[in-house]
Amino acid sequence: MSARGRRRTTVAAVAVLAGAVLAGCGTTDSAEGTGTSTGTSEAATPAAPPVSSAPPPPEGAATPAGTLLVADFGADTVTFLDPGRGPFASVRVGTAPYGLAVGADGRAWVATAEGVAIVDTATRKSLGRIPYRTATGPVTDGEYRGGGMGIALSPDGKRVYVGVNVPGGPGTVEVVDTATRAVVETVPAGRRPFDVDVSRDGTEVYATNHDSFDVTAIDARTLDTRRFEVAPYGTEGGLGSWLKPHYAVVRADGRLLLPFEGERLAVLDPRTGRVTVERMTADTHQHGAALTPDGTLLAVGTGPIGAAEGAASLTIRTKDGRERIVPLDGPHEDVAVSADGRTAYVTGGFTRDGYWDGITVVDLASGETRRLAGGERPLGIAVL
């Protein structure tokens, strides 16, 4: 092990005690675990640009293609944004919405603390909410609140899979039938399922379990499960560790890519359970991830947290492993890509302090950025 690797292992061990005090990825026994929002400190929060609301579409007109939809973790809404001019409409969905997924029919499925909300994105109207089967305790709005986190649609649009956090214990993946709008199955998962992804052929579902250092693979037909540890730094520190998986993407060859700390890219082959590790270069605590149409990986760096020392950034990593690092102004959480693959939209919501109400727009060719105000602590994002 290198000197740097030994230093990181030592820091991870020491972080057990520090994590019991700090909110965020470290421990579930924090102040935010009570469901009380701590807000942001003035020193840590980047100044947002002035809100310049875009005019809404004419009465009765459909939402334009290319509109951004964000889940407002700091409110009970989702917000629609013109990618050039900012927000123009919001729809109430339920407490502390986290992830969202949008189908080819234009319906958005939003993971909230209270259930899976449904929004008609064309008309910008709520279609109701589906309660969870899993008991998650009182409805709260803190970072460790119970309820839905990661969420994904099957390729045929017939099923929604939502990772449900159960504070203090293992979570579940609930399966929603999109025709009947009801939960039809509940599958055991690991602790705090940050992200949910579906294989490109729809045969498997993957829950990335932050607090148990693993991925649950679910056979979409039989609902049989397999668990794979994904811990390139090891699991030392347990709940107090910062070195946990957050988000994943499914590559064209079926392997899952999970970025860690801007240093290590864990590549999981769900057919064998084997995890290989590739080098990364940003040295930043990483959260959201996405793939462009040509297979380029985008990984959101939230900044110097735990053992990571680098600033907030967006890593642009080509299929052959070459990387460019685009600096970002302050922490961010998740990322989505335009249909043409030229532009990334990075949400400023962040699950810890330091979040801001807006999106950074990144030109992937030039690396130029601009900030777009809108949403309230936006986490999940989709391009309509």
Give 345-378 as a DSSP string. EEE---SSTT--SEEEEEETTT--EEEEE-SSSE
pLDDT for residue 34 is more than 70? no
CA gap 332, 355 in Å, rounded: 7
pLDDT higher for 179 or 60? Answer: 179
Q: What is the mean pLDDT of residues 107-116?
A: 98
In a domain, residue 157? The reply is yes
Q: Long-range contact list for 292-297, CB < 8 A, 24+ apart? A: 292/337, 292/341, 292/364, 293/337, 293/339, 293/340, 293/341, 294/319, 294/341, 295/251, 295/252, 295/319, 296/341, 296/364, 297/249, 297/257, 297/259, 297/265
In a domain, residue 238? The reply is yes
pLDDT for residue 16 is more than 70? no
pLDDT for residue 378 is more than 80? yes
- What is the per-residue pLDDT across 82-98, written as a single tens digit (0 to 9) for each? 999 999 999 999 999 99
For residue 40, name the pLDDT band (cuts at 50, 70, 90): very low
Do 237 and 228 form a contact (C-beta atoms < 8 A)?
Answer: no
Query: The pTM is what?
Result: 0.89
For residue 45, name the pLDDT band (cuts at 50, 70, 90): low
Do 48 and 358 form a contact (C-beta atoms < 8 A)?
Answer: yes
Could you tell me the CA-to-CA distances from 315 to 6, 256, 380 in Å, in that order?
25, 17, 18
- What is the per-residue pLDDT across 133-154, written as a single tens digit (0 to 9) for each? 999 999 999 889 999 999 999 9
In a domain, residue 254? The reply is no
In a domain, residue 202? The reply is yes
Its domain, for residue 337, covers 3-243+324-360+369-383
For residue 54, name the pLDDT band (cuts at 50, 70, 90): confident
- What is the per-residue pLDDT across 213-263, written as a single tens digit (0 to 9) for each? 999 999 999 999 999 999 999 999 888 899 999 999 999 999 999 999 999
Q: What is the mean pLDDT of residues 37-60?
A: 58
In a domain, residue 26? The reply is yes
In a domain, residue 306? The reply is no
Do 104 and 87 form a contact (C-beta atoms < 8 A)?
Answer: no
Q: Based on the structure, what is the number of domains in the chain?
A: 1
- What is the per-residue pLDDT across 264-313, written as a single tens digit (0 to 9) for each? 999 999 999 999 999 999 999 999 999 999 999 999 999 999 889 999 99
Residue 251 φ then ψ, to 5°: -75, 165
Note the pLDDT of residue 239.
Answer: 85
Give the closest residue to 241 by CA, choosing from 201, 279, 285, 283.
285
In a domain, residue 288? The reply is no
In a domain, residue 292? The reply is no
Note the pLDDT of residue 13.
Answer: 35
Instruction: State the CATH number of the domain containing residue 175.
Output: 2.40.128.630
Residue 362 burial by CB count (10 A; 0-12/13-18/19+): exposed, middle or buried?
A: buried
302: left (phi over 0), alpha (psi -120 to 50) or beta: alpha
Could you tell me the CA-to-CA distances from 334 to 63, 170, 288, 313, 377 in Å, in that order?
22, 24, 4, 12, 11
pLDDT for residue 368 is more than 80? yes
Note the pLDDT of residue 46.
Answer: 59
Q: What is the mean pLDDT of residues 179-187?
A: 98
pLDDT for residue 115 is more than 80? yes
Question: Which residues are registered as beta bridge partners of 26?
Answer: none
Buried b (16+ CB within 10 A) or exposed e, 173-202: bbbbebeebebeeebebbbbbbbbbbbeeb
Q: Long-range contact list for 58-66, CB < 8 A, 24+ apart? A: 62/122, 62/123, 63/121, 63/122, 63/123, 63/124, 63/384, 64/384, 65/384, 66/338, 66/339, 66/383, 66/384
Measure CA 320 to chain center.
25
Note the pLDDT of residue 25.
Answer: 66
Do 379 and 71 form a contact (C-beta atoms < 8 A)?
Answer: yes
State both tokens at 189. Answer: 């998962």
pLDDT higher for 21 or 182? Answer: 182
Note the pLDDT of residue 38.
Answer: 30
Note the pLDDT of residue 291.
Answer: 98
Helix (H) or strand (E) holding 343: strand 343-347
Give the closest residue to 347 by CA, choosing from 361, 336, 333, 337.
333
